[in-house]
């Protein structure tokens, strides 16, 4: 007996025109009084040596770093509009992070030249802010990470630029929901692959692809620790979730083939078929009975919750 096939939505067309790299402004400076991560000068974070579990003091500091990151992301999102360059968003993010006596974690991490990642349309992640103005109908992911008092807070949201298509609204809404479902799956004693299973199930239900080349990661005293969080079901991702772990859940979903390719800058990852992609991200803390989102503002709001879409 043959199985009934799932009816798929009409195939999304490639994003037109495709995103092209603009000009880069000079690398921004960070005052000497700002505490910097170990890689700030050399660009080399070295091998991960961090524990997968944070102690009480580190958790307290991560709550503050997450609060700063959420506040910065919220402000960055309010600047998204047709005609605004991603370089202008980077400038705003840079200055706002410094105002908190914090360091923009992406800056010189493995040589990354900017203080925030801005990924437009078919750019999956790690887009470098440049002179290209955002255009009506674009979508842009803004990925903010801050280093404050020795720990990092990492979060992102995909924002609409003006009026966007119903297809792009669907992509953004269901990617945000996929992140939420992945976070809801986190429980002590479970393997980390329950996160990817929840995300992948939701994506398939809505005819969306799941990017496999980029995954969630442990975060805390290191920007990226050795803990890996796939956003698809991987039976070998069997690390047990335990209280005190801090990591990101950051699914990247696509309207077409989720396969990625890199630009010549060795940072910008785009979909091979040119179709659009969205991402949402939180840094979370595993509790004895569940999970806590760390990348929220002081009043408990997250930019993803406040996105009116």
The whole-number pLDDT of residue 10 equals 54
Residue 6: pLDDT over 90? no
Provide the 8-state DSSP code for 264: T
Residue 94: pLDDT over 90? yes
* Mean pLDDT, the chain, integer: 95
Residue 42 lies in a domain: no
Q: What is the pLDDT of residues 63-87, one digit of tens each?
A: 999 999 999 999 999 999 999 999 9
Residue 2: pLDDT over 90? no
The whole-number pLDDT of residue 12 equals 86
The whole-number pLDDT of residue 3 equals 39
Residue 50 lies in a domain: no
Cβ–Cβ < 8 Å for 109, 43: yes
Q: Using CB atoms within 10 Å of the CB of residue 247, give its burial: 0 to 12 exposed, 13 to 18 middle, 19+ buried.
A: buried
Residue 238 lies in a domain: yes
Tally of domains within the chain: 1
Interaxial angle between packed helices 193-205 and 166-184, expressed in degrees from 0 to 180 and rounded to the nearest 10: 150
Residue 121 lies in a domain: yes
Residue 30 lies in a domain: no
Q: What is the pLDDT of residues 23-65, one digit of tens each?
A: 999 999 999 999 999 999 999 999 999 999 999 999 999 999 9
Residue 217: pLDDT over 60? yes
Q: What is the pLDDT of residues 220-260, one digit of tens each?
A: 999 999 999 999 999 999 999 999 999 999 999 999 999 99
The contacts found for 76-81 with CB under 8 angstroms, 24 or more apart, are 76/116, 76/142, 76/144, 77/142, 77/157, 77/159, 77/303, 77/307, 80/134, 80/140, 80/142, 80/159, 80/160, 80/161, 81/134, 81/161, 81/162
Torsion angle (degrees, nearest 10) of CA 162, 283, 250, 232: -160
Residue 7: pLDDT over 50? no
Residue 36 lies in a domain: no
Cα–Cα distance measured from residue 58 to residue 51, given in angstroms and rounded to the nearest whole number: 11
Q: Which domain holds residue 209?
A: 56-304
Residue 1: pLDDT over 90? no
- The whole model's pTM is what? 0.95
| CATH code for the domain in which residue 234 is found | 3.90.230.10
Residue 261: which H helix or E strand, with range?
strand 260-262
Residue 163 lies in a domain: yes
The whole-number pLDDT of residue 222 equals 98
Residue 95 lies in a domain: yes
The whole-number pLDDT of residue 159 equals 98
Residue 9: pLDDT over 90? no
The whole-number pLDDT of residue 184 equals 98
Q: Please give the backbone phi and psi of residue 156, each rounded to the nearest 5 degrees, phi first.
A: -150, 160
Q: What is the pLDDT of residues 170-211, one digit of tens each?
A: 999 999 999 999 999 999 999 999 999 999 999 999 999 999
Residue 4: pLDDT over 60? no
């Amino acid at each position: 007996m043959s199985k009934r096939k799932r009816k798929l939505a009409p195939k999304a067309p490639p994003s037109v025109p495709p995103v092209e790299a603009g000009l880069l402004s000079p690398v921004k400076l960070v005052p000497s009084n700002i505490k910097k991560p170990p890689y700030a000068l050399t660009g080399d974070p070295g091998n991960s040596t961090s524990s997968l579990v944070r102690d009480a003091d580190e958790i307290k500091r991560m709550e503050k770093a997450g609060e700063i990151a959420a506040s910065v992301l919220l402000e960055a999102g309010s600047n998204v509009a047709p005609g605004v360059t991603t370089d202008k968003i980077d400038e705003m993010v840079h200055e706002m992070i410094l105002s908190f006596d914090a360091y923009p974690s992406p800056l010189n991490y493995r040589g990354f030249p900017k203080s925030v990642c801005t990924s437009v349309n078919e750019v999956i992640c790690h887009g470098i802010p440049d002179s290209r103005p955002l255009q009506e109908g674009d979508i842009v992911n803004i990925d903010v990470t801050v280093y404050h008092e020795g720990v990092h807070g990492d979060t992102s949201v995909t924002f609409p630029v003006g009026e966007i298509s119903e297809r792009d609204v669907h992509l953004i809404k269901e990617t945000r929901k996929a992140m939420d479902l992945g976070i809801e799956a986190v429980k002590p004693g479970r393997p980390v692959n329950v996160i990817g299973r929840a995300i992948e199930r939701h994506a398939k239900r809505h005819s969306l692809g799941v990017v496999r080349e980029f995954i969630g990661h442990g975060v805390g005293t290191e920007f990226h620790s050795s803990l890996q969080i796939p956003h698809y079901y991987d039976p070998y991702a069997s690390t047990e979730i335990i209280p005190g772990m801090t990591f990101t859940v950051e699914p990247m979903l696509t309207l077409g083939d989720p396969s990625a390719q890199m630009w010549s800058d060795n940072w910008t990852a785009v979909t091979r078929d040119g179709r659009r992609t969205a991402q949402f991200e939180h840094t979370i803390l595993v509790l004895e009975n569940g999970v806590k989102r760390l990348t929220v503002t002081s009043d408990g709001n997250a930019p993803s919750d406040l996105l009116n879409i």
